[in-house]
Amino acid sequence: MLTEEKVIELLGPIQDPYLHKSMVDSGSIRELKIKEGYVGLKIGLAHTGTPEQMQLQQQIVQVLKNAGVESVGLRFEKRDDITAVNPSEAATQSAPTTLLSENSKTQFIAIASGKGGVGKSTVSVNLAVALARLGKKVGLIDADIYGFSVPDMMGITERPKVKGDRIFPVERFDVKVISMAFFVEDNAPVIWRGPMLGKMLMNFFSEVEWGDLDYVLLDLPPGTGDVALDVHKMLPKCKEVIVTTPHATAAFVAARAGTMAIKTNHEVLGIVENMSYFQSGSTGEKEYVFGKDGGKRLAEELNVPLLGQIPLGQPEIKEDDFAPSVYEQTHPIGEHYIQMAKKIIDKTN
């Protein structure tokens, strides 16, 4: 037979979420009724209807059910005799959209390409990591809403933490990452269109707790579609890096992305020519597998710098720290990224 003393003893270790001490000692238990297999509790909290209340509710039910109680009735009321900070509200108030505010010091850089498969996501990830390696505070938004791949490329297996209505980005290689991949179940395809996409992107700014950042890189979807346009509208100060292969057709298509940026008054920081050549490990000879200098010509055409020519090559795959697309700092390609990141820092200072 469960007694009042026994229930109090069971609830003793559970903390009041706002007073941070035992709910028994903090006077949170306002009423207690026991009847056959039923326990009814009225609980007073500094804030009600909050995620903390939900958590507490689950804890109490769990403890009592484990002790053999068949049904638990809980009622919550707001306590006026105490004042305590509500972390969810505090988070909302202290997490304004500072990244987007007029006087924000954060630099936005969109990584664009004319077509898919040229290595835009690989470049986004490695530039973000290189900027972080150079001591910058960096965020990375995987805005490739249909073809999100950043978490897989960086070997991210966790999901962002959610506190109240704030989302905390996942940190990997000192880069804060948010991706559409975190918000879909089982890699389901995303079928949202038009305005929904813009809203999703806006949420990435307004509901994510980014903290203080020097750079936010955005991995755009390939081409010059809705999302790229949305980004340009949403982030008037956003600068752009265009990725292409040396192939003439790829560079020709990439020119459209460049023209769009220029027409909408966004500075193009430069061109990254990816998969520029294959360098033989034994002879050091370069083989121009996909053609030569398409990126260089594009840079001349748009009158912007060529930030780098990245050869073909795979990162070293480590079993214990799996990140299939991140080049180590000491890898020759990792070094290319450091040089490009330095140029970007120079150009944006």
Ligand X SMILES: Nc1ncnc2c1ncn2[C@@H]1O[C@H](COP(=O)(O)OP(=O)(O)OP(=O)(O)O)[C@@H](O)[C@H]1O
Which residues contact ligand X by CB under 6 A? 113, 116-122, 144, 147, 149, 222, 274-275, 310, 312-314, 325
- Min CB(148)–ligand X separation in Å: 8
- Min CB(204)–ligand X separation in Å: 18
Q: Are 109 and 238 in contact (CB under 8 A)?
A: yes
Q: Please identify, using beta-carbon distances, which residue of 119 and 334 lies nearer to ligand X.
A: 119
Angle, nearest 10°, between helix axes 248-263 and 226-234?
40
136 is in an annotated binding site: no
Closest-CA residue to 171 (of 182, 162, 158): 158
327 Cβ contact partners less than 8 Å away, ≥ 6 residues apart: 126, 313, 315, 333, 334, 337
Phi, psi angle pair for 100, to nearest 5°: -95, -5
258 is in an annotated binding site: no
163 is in an annotated binding site: no
- Min CB(69)–ligand X separation in Å: 53
- Min CB(208)–ligand X separation in Å: 22
Give start and end residues of each alpha helix (H) in 12-105: 51-66, 87-94
Taken as a whole, the chain contains a residue count of 349
Q: Please identify, using beta-carbon distances, which residue of 105 and 286 lies nearer to ligand X.
A: 286
- Min CB(251)–ligand X separation in Å: 14
- Min CB(257)–ligand X separation in Å: 12
Taking CA atoms, 84 is separated from 19, 27, 41, 81, in Å, by: 7, 14, 22, 10
What is the secondary structure of 324-339 as a DSSP string?
A: TTPPPTTSHHHHHHHH
Closest-CA residue to 238 (of 348, 144, 323): 348
User: How many CB atoms lie under 10 A from the CB of residue 214?
Assistant: 17
Q: Please identify, using beta-carbon distances, which residue of 198 and 313 lies nearer to ligand X.
A: 313
Q: Please identify, using beta-carbon distances, which residue of 53 and 279 lies nearer to ligand X.
A: 279
65 is in an annotated binding site: no
44 is in an annotated binding site: no
Find the residue with minimal CB distance to ligand X. 116
116 is in an annotated binding site: yes
22 is in an annotated binding site: no
Q: How far apart are CA 176 and CA 182, in angstroms?
A: 13
Q: Please identify, using beta-carbon distances, which residue of 120 and 239 lies nearer to ligand X.
A: 120
Q: Please identify, using beta-carbon distances, which residue of 28 and 224 lies nearer to ligand X.
A: 224
Bind-site residues for ATP: 114-121
